[in-house]
Amino acid sequence: MELFVSKFGGSSLADAEQFKKVKSIVTSDPRRRFVVPSAPGKRSKGDVKVTDMLYNCYDMLSRGESIDEAFSGIEDRYRSIISDLGLSLSLEEDFVSIKNCFIARAGRDYAASRGEYLNGKVLGEYLGFEFVDAAEVVFFREDGVFDEERTYRVMGERLKNSEGAVIPGFYGSMPNDTIRTFSRGGSDITGSIVARAVGADLCENWTDVDGFLMADPRIIDDPKVIDVITYRELRELSYMGATVLHEDAIFPVRGAGIPINIRNTNHPTARGTMIVPFPQADNVPGAITGIAGKKGFVVVNIEKGMMNQELGFGRKVLWAFEKNGVSFEHLPSGIDTMSVVVEEKHFDERKERILDDICELTNPEHVSVERGLALIAVVGRGMVSAKGTANKIFSAVYESGVNVKMIDQGSSELNIIIGVAEDDFERAMKGIYEKVVGKR
Ligand code: ADP
Ligand code: ASP
Ligand code: MG
């Protein structure tokens, strides 16, 4: 029989009503044998995710404040799920030992990981599946990088004969047995890791939207669902802000060619989005797959006459960023200018040193820093060679009354990146969506 791994996000497990939906999804198909839960998410708009409550407790302790009240708020989230589901499970001992570990300063990652750990225990009990602690099957190396080889070997062996297991998302263990988490949203990565380790036929990712949408639904009203998308397109979009799936979640499944299916827990009859290794045969070159974007970039412009003829100029500029530990996003360049686009929060930490290093290494005529840049990525296949696609995108931006500050066209023909002022971001996104996608 085929085998599915099903990851459920925080909103899918926010309260007992959501747990009931999850159980009915899991039990409706016997192929769903391995389940990866996130921590309980928001129950309504103003609510707080359990993961954020845990980070908050950690921060309060670091400031020397008491966490009694904040921690009991977390306990209550689980107590009400357990009692509303009528389970006989008790987490009281776990609460005591977790709180003690908090007070003994077990670390920020340990604190954050307890949301998934406790939710995994509740879900395991509710589904009648065994609970497998991620600390025993997901490993990181000494340098903090995910240890693929050890994880797939140990997890594959551990789950080989399991009839049904719940493996909490988001964390694993370090060689010294301390807990480490992936970055925010990282339960998606765990879902893919489990799929790879057990050789699943499908990795399901259940969330609160009907699939991967052509644009962020918080900006565009009711965007279209993408039926099928390739790993590469997905990565471009999720890296650029389409946060529905963690941008690193495709790495574990990519090598094995396991598709990911994004589905809606609140609307399980919708087919969702299939994320596959290769484009479909009927794909039209130049068609736009999706649009994503994010704010918070700066452009550092370096000007020097005849720069294009100065051997090693680009290397020296990039070295100024590299030696200060800041990686760049884009490098749009002219004959006498080179521009480096970087994330504002990283740049600001090292600004003075980077600018001093650029001046010392390249002796430029002029260096300027432009802040408040938002980037928009329009992703599709064969876009650059398809007649008129770029034209349509730029006229849409122009017609929205937005000034384009930067253009970068990926050599892969997969994306066109447009830089606009942060204040123009939403307007430009809407303009592109309405005029390029909405009219198809
Ligand atoms: P989960 O808790 O299930 O992991 P997330 O909150 O991490 O869910 O991701 C789902 C959310 O991602 C959606 O509710 C939506 O607001 C947001 N989102 C941003 N861009 C997109 C997109 N292109 N398609 C779908 N959802 C998107
Ligand atoms: N609970 C974690 C977070 O809020 C991981 C996840 O949801 O995927 O980031
Ligand atoms: Mg998520």
CA 32 to centroid of chain Cα atoms? 23
Could you tell which of 47, 49, 244 is best to mutate to test the pocket of ligand 2, judged by most ligand atoms within 8 Å of the CB? Answer: 49
Please give the full DSSP string across 134-161, using - where no structure is assigned: GGGT-BB-TTS-B-HHHHHHHHHHHHTT
Choice from 38, 225, 243 to test ligand 1 binding pocket (greatest atom count within 8 A of CB): 243
**Beta strands of 9-99 (E only): which ranges?**
32-37
What's the distance, CA 273 to chain centroid?
16
Give the mean pLDDT of 192-197.
98
Say how far residue 220 (Cα) sits from the centre of its chain.
20
Domain 290-437: CATH superfamily is VC0802-like (3.30.2130.10)
Tell whether ligand 1 has an atom less than 6 A from the beta carbon of residue 431: no
pLDDT attached to residue 439: 54
Q: What spacing in Å lies between the alpha carbon of 291 and ligand 2's midpoint? A: 23
Residue 234 is which amino acid?
A: L
Helix axes 187-198, 148-159, angle to 10 degrees: 60
Which residue's alpha carbon is nearest to atom 5 within ligand 2? 185
CA 10 – ligand 3 centroid, Å: 7
What's the pLDDT band for 334 if we cut at 50, 70, 90?
Answer: confident
State if residue 41 touches ligand 1 by the CB under 6 angstroms criterion: yes
**Tens digits of residue pLDDT in 309-322:** 889 999 999 999 99
> Which ligand 1 atom lies nearest to the CA of residue 216?
20
Q: How far away, in angstroms, is 212 Cα from ligand 1 center?
A: 8
Alpha helices in 363-405 (DSSP H): 389-399
Residue 282 has pLDDT above 60, yes or no: yes
Q: List, by residue range, all CATH 3.40.1160.10 domains of the chain.
A: 9-198
Q: What's the pLDDT band for 286 if we cut at 50, 70, 90? A: low
Q: Residue 56 and residue 114: Cα distance in Å, rounded?
A: 13
What digits encode the pLDDT tens for the residues 161-176?
999 999 999 999 999 9
Query: Given a cut of 60, is residue 440 above it in pLDDT?
Result: no
Q: Is the CB of 242 under 6 A from ligand 1?
A: yes
Asked whether the predicted pLDDT for residue 57 surpasses 70, the reply is: yes
Which atom of ligand 2 lies closest to the CA of 184? 9
- What spacing in Å lies between the alpha carbon of 266 and ligand 2's midpoint? 19
Q: What angle do CA 236, 238, 239 make, to 5 degrees?
A: 65
- Residue located via tokens 């140990």: 154
Ranges in the chain annotated CATH 3.30.2130.10: 290-437
Q: Six-digit token pair at 73?
A: 């708020």
Q: According to the model, what pLDDT value does residue 380 have?
A: 85
337-357 burial, b for 16+ CB within 10 Å, e for fewer? bbbbbbbbebbeebbeebbeb
Smallest-distance ligand from the CA of 12? 1
Which ligand has the minimum distance to the alpha carbon of residue 115? 2
Q: Which ranges in 135-230 belong to alpha helices (H)?
A: 148-159, 187-198
Instruction: Give the pLDDT score at 280.
Output: 73
Q: Give nearest CA residue, ligand 1 atom 7.
A: 244
pLDDT at 310: 87
The CATH architecture annotation of domain 9-198 reads 3-Layer(aba) Sandwich (3.40)
Q: What is the mean pLDDT of residues 338-354?
A: 94
Distance (Å, whole) CA 104 – CA 67: 13
Give the largest Cα separation in the chain, rounded.
Answer: 75
pLDDT, average across residues 390-398: 89
What does the mean pLDDT of the chain come to?
93
Residues with a CB atom less than 6 Å from ligand 2? 9-10, 38-39, 49, 51, 115, 169-170, 184-188
CA atoms within 13 A on the CB side of 156: 11
- For ligand 1, is residue 216 a contact (CB within 6 Å)? yes
CA distances for 437 relative to 105, 236, 343, 375, 429, angstroms? 51, 18, 28, 18, 11
Residues whose beta carbons lie less than 5 angstroms from ion ligand 3:
9, 185
pLDDT of res. 281: 65
**pTM reported for the whole predicted model:** 0.91
Confirm or reject: Cβ of 115 under 6 Å from ligand 1.
Answer: no
21, two tokens: 């939906």
Closest ligand by atom to 6 CA: 1
Model confidence at 414, pLDDT cuts 50, 70, 90, reads confident
Is residue 384 very low, low, confident or very high in pLDDT (cuts 50, 70, 90)? Answer: low
**How confident is the model at residue 304, as a pLDDT?**
92
With the most atoms of ligand 2 within 8 angstroms of its CB, the residue from 170, 171, 206 to mutate is: 170
Model confidence at 393: pLDDT above 60: yes
Q: Locate the ligand 1 atom nearest the alpha carbon of residue 12 and give its number.
A: 3
Band of pLDDT at residue 67, cut at 50, 70 and 90: very high
